[in-house]
Structure 1
């Protein structure tokens, strides 16, 4: 055997080993599947569901098993959808909704529904129309949170067989047509005017009540002052009566004499030259008063 034959045989053996090593590497690469944290992979074998691979390193049978679907398990938001609905009191409204969901069972989502976003949007639109049809317009505006909770629960029940979890449902806006909006504005203005009139009437009523209370208070105070004055006069009369009773008529005459003398002094202190004409009876009274004063002195 010459050298050339030896080299050819050696190359053939090495090539066989190289091919075998390459085949092993390919098999390993085909059998190992690394799934990202945000995904799940649906594995099929001969066109049938074989398994669902979770995040991490997974092993499959190469050339027999294949990754048919790569499903993101991140939360998704449907585009904002607008749908018309009629309330129980026959008012046409346009409702803007948005739904958030995530896929929890990819095998159901893949094999039971073709376009999951469109299916959820259609389901939400039907549920929104049905729920708003059970409520009056005022209830829709006032109980929006309750309506959102009801819609979310109904959507969850409807999409449960699709392997989907509805994480949140939102009613972004409730719009009215121009005619209904104008009628509501007129009603609102009328209600404001009514409240203003009621407030003004209550204010006028309160002003009258306060004026009456003030007048009553003034009357009560006047009556109280008169009663005090009458009590004082009665007390003074009682004191005089007591003095007369204890000291006799002389005490009363003494007081009268003092008043007469004081009056005469006041007349005498007047400015200018004055002539005072005093009746004889007054002179006798003054004489008696001087006598009383002299006797008291």
Structure 2
């Protein structure tokens, strides 16, 4: 075989091989596959060129370079604790936690160096400012409203960094021991006051019920006396009518009836009793028995 032909053949194949290798490198450098949980920031000559989303992307080989691979998964900042003073001058220690995710990687890359530290510092300042507007009781009772306010304020502050704050939580609000002791004393005093009020209301209610009972008894007694008076008036009317109709005999009959009833009442008493009556009384009772017998 001619050596020149062999050399020419080898040289041609080597060129084709190099060209094929170059094509493979260009394809490899020009096609970028981005995972679903990431976005890639592409630069050309040191300047921002584009942001590659999940899937297959094509760039210009050797000119475009992927400089930053940014995770778009939700992140949680480490639990932070900061001191704050309420509007009524109570020192509290607030534990917070913030969740966020990057939605515009180009802003996060080129506008802030340490995003976690920046968000933590921003949250601390906002928490101190918001708690300073509230009394301690409001901080304890309106925690959900405080969380919403902090979240909205943090979102406005970090908007230029391409970040979305998904959640903000206040995990705990701690007080120093002196404040806790003072609050405990106040709580015990409030409980004692409520107990005294309840006891006083009970006594008041008892007096009201007793007064109502006495009033009811008086009304019933008055009603009974009124009925008795009406009965006596009715009886008097009957007697008066009898006298008018039958004359003096009817009156004597009524007097005799009363005398006999009185004697029966004396005789019905308990124990041994001795009744001394004058002779005129005996005669009167005798006349009464005769009249009753005759009336019967």
TM-score tier, shorter chain, comes to: 0.7 to 0.9
> 2:124 aligned with 1:125, yes or no?
yes
Q: Distance in 2 between matches of 1:285 and 1:194?
A: 75
Shift of 1:3: 7.3
Q: Which residue of 2 aligns with 1:38?
A: 37
The answer for unaligned runs of 5 or more in structure 1 is 268-275
Does the CA-based 8 Å contact 1:124-1:155 persist in structure 2? yes
Contact 1:254 1:289 in 2 (8 A): no
2:214 corresponds to 1:194? no
Indicate conservation of the 8 Å contact 1:254/1:293, yes or no. Answer: no
Q: Report the counterpart of residue 225 of structure 1 in structure 2.
A: 224
| Contact kept in structure 1, 2:99 and 2:168, CA below 8 Å | yes
- How far the C-alpha of 1:22 sits from its partner, in A, is 2.5
CA distance in 2, matches of 1:266, 1:176: 86
Task: Report the equivalent of 1:75.
Answer: 74
Q: Tell me the distance in 1 between the aligned counterparts of 2:252 and 2:153.
A: 111
Please provide the CA RMSD for this pair: 3.0
Distance 2:42 2:265 in 1: 134
User: How many aligned residue pairs are there?
Assistant: 287
* Whole-Å separation in 1 of the counterparts to 2:265 and 2:173: 96
- Whole-angstrom distance in 2 between the partners of 1:183 and 1:265: 81
Give yes or no for the alignment of 1:204 onto 2:189: no
1:83 positional shift: 0.3
| Contact 1:43/1:49 (<8 A) preserved | yes
Distance verdict in 2 for CA 1:281–1:25, change over 3 Å: closer
Q: Distance in 2 between matches of 1:25 and 1:92?
A: 66
1:214-235 CA-to-partner distances (Å, cap 9, x unmatched) read 1222122122212211211111
Instruction: Tell me how far 1:251 sits from its aligned partner.
Output: 2.9
Distance 1:54 1:11 in 2: 44
CA–CA distance in structure 2, aligned partners of residues 128 and 266 of structure 1: 95
How far 1:290 moved relative to its partner?
Answer: 4.1
Deviation at 1:16, TM superposition (A): 3.3
Structure 2 counterparts to residues 55-204 of structure 1, below 5 A: 55-204=54-203
Q: Say if 1:254 and 1:198 are closer, same or farther in 2 by CA, change over 3 A.
A: closer
Q: C-alpha separation between the residues in 2 aligned to 1:264 and 1:128?
A: 100
Instruction: Summarize the Cα distance change of 1:128–1:253 in structure 2 as closer, same or farther, 3 Å threshold.
Output: same
The more displaced of 218-227 and 9-18 is 9-18
Q: Is the 8 A contact 2:257 2:292 kept in 1?
A: no
State the 1:81 CA deviation.
Answer: 0.3
> Partners of 1:52 and 1:251 in 2: how far apart?
129
User: Contact between 1:257 and 1:290, CA under 8 Å: does it hold in 2?
Assistant: no
TM-score using structure 1 length? 0.85
Structure 2: where are the runs of 5+ without partners? Answer: 267-275
Instruction: Indicate how the Cα distance of structure 1 residues 260 and 162 shifts in structure 2: closer, same or farther if over 3 A, else same.
Output: closer
CA distance in 2, matches of 1:204, 1:262: 50
